[in-house]
Structure 1
Amino acid sequence: MTKHSEEVLVLVIDDQKPAAELLSRMLASYGYQAVCAYNGPDGIEQAKRLIPDLILLDVMMPGMDGFEVLQTLRQHEATSRIPTIMVTAKDQPNDVAQGLQLGADDYIPKPIEPRELIARAKSKIEAHHLRQDLQSRTTDLEALLRVSEELNTNLRVDDLIRLLLYLVIDLMPCEFAAIYRTGDTGQVTNYVASYANGEIIDHYVDIHPIANRIGDESGAISFDNSQSNYIDAPYAHGSVITLRLADEIHGYILLLGNNALDGSRLRMFEGIARQATLSLRNAELYELKANLADELEAKVQERTRELEDAQQLLIRSEKLASVGRLAAGIAHEINNPLTPILLIMEDMLEDLKGGIAISESDIEETLKSAKRISRIVERLLQFTRQREQDQPSMEVVNINDALQNVFALSRKFLEHEKIDIEIRVDPSIYVHGNRDQLEQVFLNLLLNSKAAMPDGGTLTISSEVNDREIFLDFADTGVGIDAKQLNNIFDPFFTTKEDGTGLGLFISYEVITNHSGQIDVKSELGKGTTMTVRLPRIEDLEEEFED
């Protein structure tokens, strides 16, 4: 901002006192303030102390001439940018060139024509003030960029407010600063304050008296606290600004000190407040989003647990349903060894009554049949046993052993239904999984194949292996599945059987998916269906057992 002429200070350096005073009166007549120095060293000292808006410098002076004075001024940071006009009777081209090379802004010869002097002085002073203003604005923009960068790196509201306080203390000329964050009803929810040295203050300074005064003002407001005493604090001056976004108030920034802020500092204050408001709102939205995400995650976890529990119930229900369908076959298989036991026991009872010794072969046959029943019961219990823990345990499973166990359990049942089974599975195939669940899947697929062959047929179970997966094919010679129904067979409660639950294939699909595998199906009406189970294989069996 350009100063008024009465605020402009000109330093005249000339060893000729009458000439210096003449220039001083000439400048004063046009409203400028002038100070005289009568030698080079004194002129340098006053320039450093007063920082004038312009220097009129005589070239020809004893001891230290004008060129040496100019060179010294340009080497000092505080005086290096003060515009300087060389004043001398010498207007030789070499002297002009030397002065300009040393950093002089202009050259005027004696005798001086007043209007020319004032015109040149005014031009240099205005240019100097414009440069100062540009430099100040550049500095302010750099400071605001720093504020923006630092505030936007913090997403927690509490951290952001504390960082904002330190930035305000660092950038603004004040002796006390406070940050207030307000809620929806205007109450203060966060407060932090500090002295200029960075010391945090616990004492609360009430903002409401000055907040009520500024009302809907959007810019920075300065007030004389020594007269109005808006703020209960021992400082003469204060400035406050509302952190406002649209029509919502998010808080206030309060500055206190014994000197009022000038226009450039107020502009800086407003720029900081704008950046602070945006960053504070972003932090609030981020925290809201984080809280919602946490709540959503908790709900998802709760729902997942409910689904897992429901899935376990479905698996158990379907397993019981499968066992029920096998009940007739199991009863028949147990009844076969039970019949000779009863007959032999009756014979043994008659022999005992008749005094005849019991035959050792009869005892061995009875024991053999009893052990057979025990094995049948053990396989059934092994298949239906539930794990004590909620989550199924995972282990190394030999696929061929699991299939043989299912086949042994259902062999008689399948023979009764005239189903031939061919198992061509590599005995060296291992996967990482839950044996009970995999056997349940294999039994479900076997029972589905049996249901598709009401008049008997052949079920072929074969395997293929590549570097990462195993492929188990359950291929039957049954009636096949209509192409329109293929996309629905894994849906819950979808069934084409009169006594079906519609859960067998759904649960099987879920189990295999949870084992990082998948089930594919191919079918042709009248020719049969092939269910293919794909599972990740164990590549290094020794390493898996070590783990």
Structure 2
Amino acid sequence: MSEAELILVIDDTPANLDVISEALTDAGYEVAIALDGDRALKQVEYTLPSLILLDVMMPGIDGFETCRRLKASAATKDIPVIFMTALSDTADKIKGFQLGAVDYITKPFEEMEVLARVNTHVKLRNLSKQLEQKVSSRTAELTAALAQVKQSQLQLIQSEKMSALGNLVAGVAHEINNPVGFIYGNVKELSLALRDIVDHLELYQKECPNPGQDIELHAEDIDLKYVLEDTAKILSSMEIGCDRLRNISTSLRTFSRTDTAVKVSANICDGIDSTLMILQHRLKAQVANPEIQVIKEYGDIPPVKCYLGQLNQVFMNVLSNAIDAVNDRNCGHSYNEIAAAPNTITITTALTEDRQRVAVKIKDNGNGMSEDVKAQIFDHLFTTKLVGQGTGLGLSISRQIVEEMHGGSLTCSSVLGEGTQFAIELPID
């Protein structure tokens, strides 16, 4: 044996202790002794033996009770116990095995038999410990492998989702941009042409102050002055509409921005604004819900080196959840009650105290979350939404994007009945 195993011998007869101790010591074992069960139980609190030889008949608590207490303790329950007894009653042996003993040695002792049984059970215990260690090690490996598989799943889902969404949005933006550019250019030309026509009409009116009854009647019928003024206003409105469409198109392209292999400096406020533009239809007043007020408190922050397309997905997930939260708050309240205490989402950007990171805080005044829900919101596949309304992937993917891809942090604070705030911190470089 490379390291001596400790054997605890419990017997109230000194002669028996001497015989067994000598035999075990000669065989290379370390030996500890105890004269009764009480002393033995105190002794194992300080030093755990590899095996216990336990006499059945002892004063105070007998061997059976001592064994029961040993097996009841988490620290000693796995130590093999071999009973030593002159009893040959089968019922006593069965009782010992039921209490957890692994073997019996019958008095008077045969030295070779004692050593053979001790050797066997010490080896069995060591093999059992080795097997437990291997199982524990293998379990840890499998747990790590499972975590890696989940991580890979998240990365694949996130990558495929962003790729599909990016292609779709970029395509839509491109399709919008072409006709909008055509209309915008023609509206400009039409405005100039209309100005020329109006100038020409004014020359006619100046040169021909009495154009005749038919022309005067027709001018009155169509309200010529109003038509000319209103047409100019219509064209101006069309220009404003085209500008808005162009802004939407720009926002779509910003949101779907294809990430390169390296991070690029970007203004994350542009990403937030592009996301809000896409979510505008959910922020406007609905039949049952008044408008959700978005309060922007943008601080003076520098560009951040990032994958902006990935961050836009984080903003989309967090803002969508905030909209859901304030809409859930509306349940059971009338339109007027909601309007009196408006739904709000507050977005704050600022530098952290060390000026090395940018902090983005998105806060809603929804119903908030319980501690139990808050503890699970970033877990893979966890969702509080109904089947078909949520996948449980949004916040899990968001945390991966912020923390693993950008070295930042994504945290949540929430008070039930008061609202929720998500805080995103990103290193500037």
TM-score scaled by length of structure 1: 0.35
Higher RCO, Cα 8 Å, sep 6+: 2
TM-score scaled by length of structure 2: 0.43
